[in-house]
Amino acid sequence: MNFTLKIWRQESASSKGRFETYKISNISDECSFLEMLDQLNEQLVDKFDKPVCFDHDCREGICGMCSLYINGRPHGNDSGITTCQLHMRRFKDGDTIVIEPWRAKAFPILKDLVVDRSAFDKIAQEGAYVSVNTGGIPDGNAIPVPKVKSDLAMDAAACIGCGACVATCKNASAMLFVSANVSHLALLPQGKIEAKERVTKMVAKMDELGFGNCTNTGACEAECPKEIKLSNIARLFREYYVASIS
Amino acid sequence: MSNFFTSSLGKKLIMSLAGLFLCVFLVVHLGINLLLLSNDKGEVFRVAVHFMTTNILIKIMEIFLFGGFLLHIIYGVIVQIRNWMARPSGYAVSNNSQTSFFSKYMIHTGVIIFIFLAIHMANFYFVKLGITTPLEGGSNPVQDTHDFYNMAINLFTTPAYSIFYLVCMIFLSFHLLHAFQSAFQTMGVNHPKYSPIIKWIGNIYAIVVPAGFAFIPVYFLFFYN
Amino acid sequence: MSEIKSKIPQGPLADKWTTYKSTQNLVNPANKRKLDVIVVGTGLAGASAASSLGELGFNVKIFCYQDSPRRAHSIAAQGGINAAKNYQNDGDSVYRLFYDTIKGGDYRAREANVYRLAEVSNSIIDQCVAQGVPFAREYGGLLDNRSFGGAQVSRTFYARGQTGQQLLLGAYRALNRQIKAGTVEMHNRDEMLELVIVDGKARGIVSRNLVTGQIERHFGHAVVLATGGYGNVFFLSTNAMGSNASAAWQVYKKGAFFGNPCFTQIHPTCIPVHGDYQSKLTLMSESLRNDGRIWVPKKKEDAEAIRKGTLKPTQLKEEDRDYYLERRYPAFGNLVPRDVASRAAKERCDAGFGVGTTGLAVYLDFSSAINRLGKKVIEERYGNLFQMYEKIVDENPYETPMMIYPAVHYTMGGIWVDYELQTTIPGLFAIGEANFSDHGANRLGASALMQGLADGYFVLPYTIQNYLSADIRTPRISTDTPAFQEAEKSVKERIQRLMSIRGKHSVDSFHKKLGKIMWDKVGMARTKQSCTEAITEIQALRAEFWKDVRVTGTPDELNPELEKALRVADFLELGELMARDALHREESCGGHFREEYQTEEGEAKRDDSDFMYVAAWEYKGENEEPKLNKEVLEYENIKVAQRNYK
């Protein structure tokens, strides 16, 4: 297969970026999107050009490092996947593919398609944890947890922190990410104890870092590689209101 | 609690509560408007208007109503500006994600409704207060600043106004199609069993109420002697 | 350099760890504040160690090359984590877990370490539950278990197919809590490139800020490596793209011994290779073997027809299928340990019974499980794995059997450490996959997560204090001292040297060539000849690399090509050591299979009289042969026998 790629190139955080157009040919349809970019980079290195920088690591859809806004969709034109799980068979031969970095005030571009998502870490550091030290812990079966709750908690905990929710949201809102963290812990008896403090601090941090607000468009849910549900955002609201009035 | 009103979530809650309050108001308003259709030269309508403009309880509610409008609009604008600021440079390719269509255009439909509201107020409410004067001419001469019946008939028999009114009602419907169920989501109501019902009620509301309003100019344009 | 001293405490096996803990030296709270510890790597071992040390009151600096500590590759572990809880009442115990692990490791692991691992395994589950790890539960609200390869009890705890992710996020949460508390300082996108030794003790690291390219110096009273394994030496593996051996390799060159480098685990259930552009192999969890049955066609002509695409696997009758694991190992069946399953797959494919277009694949079939349990149950158990398979291969595994083939997955070898997890360089510790300690020649499924967290939460926070207690009077050493300056200089020279070659071939092209040599000659089956060839070929490739590699860009920017070049340069040296180790070990054990040494039935044939030791390699200088040191393994509590899964 052959493709025309329009890729955002930007030297550094402070420099101005632009789109560059590249042609790439003889791509197998079984090839993953990132492997296609690997081949482009081989071409560029061959010409002594600088390869396109993009984040990636595990290449099996779990580390959350890969990003890329491809033809108007984070992680490309498929649902429930990360960019590394996108395969070229999802495109048509001869397609033009526009590749952009995640764009949000809270995710500044570092270079080309690489953005800084440490804002997510900062939000998590505000309270996405249970304050227990290592050791001196009761037996794992000491507190039974209803399977339904535990399963819901797992659904929320599946978040990989990739930032697709922010990237696709028209408001660059981090609400799905925050709600997944809050929901996961609020649903478990272990996390319940600090629930009020947690949600208050995390929401305050999220606001401070410049993420937008939620307007319930549902784009985040549609693009989340782990298919985290909007119901988590509703739970975030509830948790927050309860924490605020009590 | 002090941070609540400035937090993103607090703002959203206020917006949605105010919005739902306005939804209730719309039903009342529609009920009165439909009285225009009764074939009695506006007798029932005048009684209702008289009640609405003089009753002390309604007067108190009016303050809340204005508060609701103000909160909804001001918070809506603040939230929107912050949302725009959250993405200072946009994408080259516009978003192709699967989203609820109307949710993307709330500020746009909101602005249209606001313009409508301003004109609407100038036509009726401000006339009552003596700030504006009623429309000149028209088939039914306006007797006094409280004669909403003739003011309405004069407007609705003007085709340009009626079409404007109809278009605005369509946008109101668009706004409500997202707003109603979204308000519940913002209040934290999201349940696998009940949310679809809320959505269903919301869709009916968003179609029936604006359609009810829209029926009146249609009636006056085509069926009024 | 130092003698090999494993420092195993005296006394009965079951009391060793307790004895150690009650007699070790500790550091009092006031002094902990004065001590700095550097942790490199934020996976299960690194994050759990850093958070635990932070909670104790030490000043911790932690480093990762990824953009966030949550990305470390522990996250990709799917199946589960073992613990000897015996919640299922099926006869499990600390001793049994210990025994299974030693046996699974083909009697090449240290008894005392493994026993300690089994002992603390239960605390790990408690710890993780307390942190809010959403382990799978039964309807009564209690924790659920499943079984894994190499065990006859159900002792594996899991969180869907994302156990590694959930455990890592648990450790990440604990780490975040300490970052917020100010006890841990996080350095992301910051890669360690050199160890700093002052007066014979590890005292810091030199790292490169991957965003700015700046070379940084960091001091620590002790340094802990939690940098994972070196499977990426094979280029294609289930490791993350960035997983590398550079930190481990640099400390080896500074004097830390490297233990059993040839012990590599080839995982039997990976998605087969499909093209030469491929960058990585995807693992399908071992848990699939609980319900999936592995087979190839009985007749060669059927296998050929399937490869050509004229026959579909679903058309093949039951009696024409060869469930070779069930046939060869009736007692364990499809749940034999990984090395056994991998070799059996290779044997069938080499014999011409392989399927897929390349003939390098076998079937993992769920049809009988779906008939028995219903599609819904299978979907609940493995839904996300099936979906992942379908996204990659574009085939529906509910309808047609999955294709799998072995791939490089884990390295049992690593930096040699003593009982305290300290390397031969005082003050330098290695934990998790980075060390060699607990898995012998083959790791059992669901044991890596257990070991990483055991080391980080429950072992290192104790043992490091025994070392640091002697250091309470050592003030912080300035990073302007000659040792730091020199370390920085050597890093800068290495980078400069790479940048200035400006050759013709990309870094990846060298990495792929190295990977091919390693897979063909030091892979699933090795011979004296293949290992000898590998050494010569790697040497030649390395010389070519340093003459002809092309690294674009500059050192002062985000430059993935340079990052890769630095890593591949180290892989090119490590690969040779692996081949050397494989060559010297004239026996077959666990993941190390020398074709010359096998039983008549094709099973690995150990040589306990000559090779029951850990090969701890000592660096002797560039282009010098490394020196082999031996740590003899003594089994006082287990009767060494040939592994039998029949």
C514 shares a domain with C402: no
Q: Is A120 on the interface with C (CB under 8 A)?
A: yes
Residue C183 near residue C60 (C-beta atoms within 8 A):
yes
Interface A-C: count of C-beta contacts within 8 A: 219
A165 shares a domain with A101: no
A54 shares a domain with A36: yes
pLDDT of residue C2: 46
Closest residue in chain C to residue A185, using alpha carbons only: C132
Which residues 6+ apart lie within 8 Å of C532 measured at CB? C583
Show the domain range for C565.
Answer: 482-607
Q: Give the DSSP letter string of C46-95.
A: HHHHHHHHHHHT-EEEEE-SSSSGGGSGGGG--S-EE----TT-SS--HH
Closest residue in chain A to residue C271, using alpha carbons only: A60
Which of 33-52 (B) contact A at CB < 8 A?
A: none
Q: Is A215 on the interface with B (CB under 8 A)?
A: yes
Inspect the interface and report whether the beta carbons of A116 and C67 lie closer than 8 Å: yes
Inspect the interface and report whether the beta carbons of B82 and A212 lie closer than 8 Å: yes
Inspect the interface and report whether the beta carbons of B94 and A98 lie closer than 8 Å: no
Closest residue in chain B to residue A209, using alpha carbons only: B86
A166 shares a domain with A102: no
Rounded to whole angstroms, how far apart are CA atoms B154 and C11?
104
Does B100 or C501 have the greater pLDDT score? C501
CB-based burial label for C469 (10 Å; 0-12, 13-18, 19+): middle
Query: DSSP class of residue C523?
Result: S
**Domain endpoint, select from C392, C409, C426:** C409
Does A71 or B157 have the greater pLDDT score? A71
Task: Tell me which residues of C are annotated as active site.
Answer: 338
Residue A74 near residue A168 (C-beta atoms within 8 A):
yes
A96 shares a domain with A38: yes
CB-based burial label for C500 (10 Å; 0-12, 13-18, 19+): exposed
Residue A236 near residue A183 (C-beta atoms within 8 A):
yes
Q: Domain of C389: which CATH number?
A: 3.90.700.10
Q: Is A32 on the interface with C (CB under 8 A)?
A: yes
Average pLDDT over every residue of C179-193: 98
Which of 136-155 (A) contact B at CB < 8 A?
A: none
Chains that touch A (3 or more CB pairs under 8 A): B, C
Whether the complex's predicted ipTM is more than 0.95 is answered with yes
Tokens found for residue C71:
């990305």
Query: Tens of pLDDT along C430-444?
Result: 999 999 989 999 999
**Shortest Cα–Cα distance, B2 to chain A (Å):** 9
Which of 121-180 (A) contact C at CB < 8 A?
A: 121, 124-126, 128-135, 137-141, 143-147, 150-151, 153-154, 157-158, 160-161
Q: In this structure, is residue B34 part of a structural domain?
A: yes
Q: In this structure, is residue C144 part of a structural domain?
A: no
> Which of B3, B89, B190 minimises the CB distance to A234?
B190
pLDDT of residue B141: 80
Closest residue in chain A to residue B76, using alpha carbons only: A215
A241 shares a domain with A122: yes
For an interface test with A, the pick among B6, B99, B101 (most A C-beta atoms closer than 10 Å) comes out as B99
A124 shares a domain with A36: no
Torsions phi, psi for C410 (to 5 deg): -150, 150
A166 shares a domain with A67: no
Q: In this structure, is residue B92 part of a structural domain?
A: no
Query: Tens of pLDDT along C294-343?
Result: 999 999 999 999 999 999 999 999 999 999 999 999 988 998 888 889 99
Inspect the interface and report whether the beta carbons of A231 and B92 lie closer than 8 Å: no
Q: In this structure, is residue B86 part of a structural domain?
A: no
Tokens found for residue B81:
């500006």
Contacts of B75 in chain A (CB under 8 A): none
The continuous run of DSSP H or E covering C186 comes out as strand C184-187
**Shortest Cα–Cα distance, A143 to chain B (Å):** 26
Q: Give the DSSP letter string of C565-622.
A: HHHHHHHHHHHHHHHHHHHH--S-BTTB-BTTSB-TTS-B---HHHH-EEEEEE--ST
**Domain endpoint, select from A110, A127, A157:** A110
Inspect the interface and report whether the beta carbons of C280 and A59 lie closer than 8 Å: yes
Contacts of A8 in chain B (CB under 8 A): 92
Q: Is A46 on the interface with C (CB under 8 A)?
A: yes
> Which of B4, B92, B106 minimises the CB distance to A19?
B92
Q: How many structural domains does chain C have?
A: 2
**Domain endpoint, select from A75, A110, A145:** A110
For residue C208, the SS3 value is: strand
Q: Is B190 on the interface with A (CB under 8 A)?
A: yes
Q: Is the predicted pLDDT of residue A100 greater than 80, yes or no?
A: yes
Q: How many structural domains does chain A have?
A: 2
Query: Tens of pLDDT along C203-255?
Result: 999 999 999 999 999 999 999 999 999 999 999 999 999 999 999 999 999 99
Neighbours of A116 (CB within 10 A): 19
Q: Domain of A128: which CATH number?
A: 1.10.1060.10
Rounded to whole angstroms, how far apart are CA atoms C447 and C439?
8
Show the domain range for A65.
Answer: 3-110
Q: In this structure, is residue C308 part of a structural domain?
A: yes
Rounded to whole angstroms, how far apart are CA atoms C285 and C79?
5
Our answer on whether C and B touch (3+ beta-carbon pairs < 8 Å) is no
Q: Domain of A36: which CATH number?
A: 3.10.20.30
pLDDT of residue B1: 52
Rounded to whole angstroms, how far apart are CA atoms C47 and C40?
9
Q: In this structure, is residue C181 part of a structural domain?
A: no
Q: Is A105 on the interface with B (CB under 8 A)?
A: yes
**Shortest Cα–Cα distance, B85 to chain A (Å):** 7
**Shortest Cα–Cα distance, C302 to chain A (Å):** 25
Residue C242 near residue C65 (C-beta atoms within 8 A):
yes
Inspect the interface and report whether the beta carbons of B8 and A207 lie closer than 8 Å: yes
Q: In this structure, is residue B93 part of a structural domain?
A: no
**Domain endpoint, select from A67, A94, A110:** A110
Inspect the interface and report whether the beta carbons of A28 and C275 lie closer than 8 Å: yes
HSE-CB for A194 with a 13 A CA cutoff: 20
Residue A104 near residue B86 (C-beta atoms within 8 A):
yes
Inspect the interface and report whether the beta carbons of A212 and B190 lie closer than 8 Å: no
Rounded to whole angstroms, how far apart are CA atoms C136 and C53?
29
Average pLDDT over every residue of C489-493: 98
Q: Is the predicted pLDDT of residue C181 greater than 60, yes or no?
A: yes
Q: Is the predicted pLDDT of residue A42 greater than 50, yes or no?
A: yes
pLDDT of residue C1: 42
Contacts of A151 in chain C (CB under 8 A): 134
Q: What integer best gives the mean pLDDT of chain C?
A: 95
Q: In this structure, is residue C32 part of a structural domain?
A: no
Q: In this structure, is residue B98 part of a structural domain?
A: no
Q: Domain of C497: which CATH number?
A: 1.20.58.100
Q: Is the predicted pLDDT of residue A117 greater than 80, yes or no?
A: yes
Rounded to whole angstroms, how far apart are CA atoms C42 and C69?
5
Q: Give the DSSP letter string of C424-444.
A: SSTTEEE-GGGB--SSTTSPP
**Shortest Cα–Cα distance, A133 to chain C (Å):** 7
Q: In this structure, is residue C371 part of a structural domain?
A: yes
Query: Tens of pLDDT along C502-559?
Result: 999 999 999 999 999 999 999 999 999 999 999 999 999 999 999 999 999 999 999 9
Reference C44, options C448, C453, C366; nearest CA is C453
Inspect the interface and report whether the beta carbons of A213 and B92 lie closer than 8 Å: no
Alpha helices in C434-559 (DSSP H): 448-453, 460-468, 482-501, 507-521, 528-548
Q: Is the predicted pLDDT of residue C366 greater than 90, yes or no?
A: yes
Q: Which amino acid is it at B30?
A: L
- Label residue B144 by pLDDT band (50, 70, 90): confident
Pairing of the two strands C36-40 and C222-225:
parallel
Q: Is B94 on the interface with A (CB under 8 A)?
A: yes
C386 shares a domain with C511: no
Q: In this structure, is residue B216 part of a structural domain?
A: yes
Q: In this structure, is residue C285 part of a structural domain?
A: yes
Four-residue CA torsion sign, C74, C78, C82, C86: positive
Contacts of A168 in chain B (CB under 8 A): 95, 97
Q: In this structure, is residue C121 part of a structural domain?
A: no
Tokens found for residue C495:
């980078």
Contacts of A69 in chain B (CB under 8 A): 91, 93
> Which of C131, C240, C391 minimises the CB distance to A130?
C131
Contacts of A10 in chain B (CB under 8 A): none
Rounded to whole angstroms, how far apart are CA atoms B30 and B39?
17
Contacts of B190 in chain A (CB under 8 A): 230-231, 233-235
Chains that touch B (3 or more CB pairs under 8 A): A
Contacts of A77 in chain B (CB under 8 A): 96
Query: Tens of pLDDT along C434-483?
Result: 999 899 999 998 999 999 999 999 999 999 999 999 999 999 999 999 99
Q: Is the predicted pLDDT of residue C3 greater than 70, yes or no?
A: no
Which of 41-60 (A) contact B at CB < 8 A?
A: none
Q: Is B96 on the interface with A (CB under 8 A)?
A: yes
Report long-range pairs for C488-492 (Cβ below 8 Å, ≥24 apart). C488/C194, C488/C206, C488/C215, C488/C217, C490/C194, C491/C193, C491/C194, C491/C206, C491/C208, C491/C215, C492/C215
Our answer on whether A and C touch (3+ beta-carbon pairs < 8 Å) is yes
pLDDT of residue C380: 82
Q: In this structure, is residue B30 part of a structural domain?
A: yes
Closest residue in chain B to residue A238, using alpha carbons only: B188
pLDDT of residue B225: 63
For an interface test with B, the pick among A126, A171, A213 (most B C-beta atoms closer than 10 Å) comes out as A213
Q: How many structural domains does chain B have?
A: 1
Show the domain range for B151.
Answer: 8-81+104-222
Rounded to whole angstroms, how far apart are CA atoms B103 and A213?
13
**Domain endpoint, select from C386, C409, C432:** C409
pLDDT of residue A246: 83
For residue C39, the SS3 value is: strand
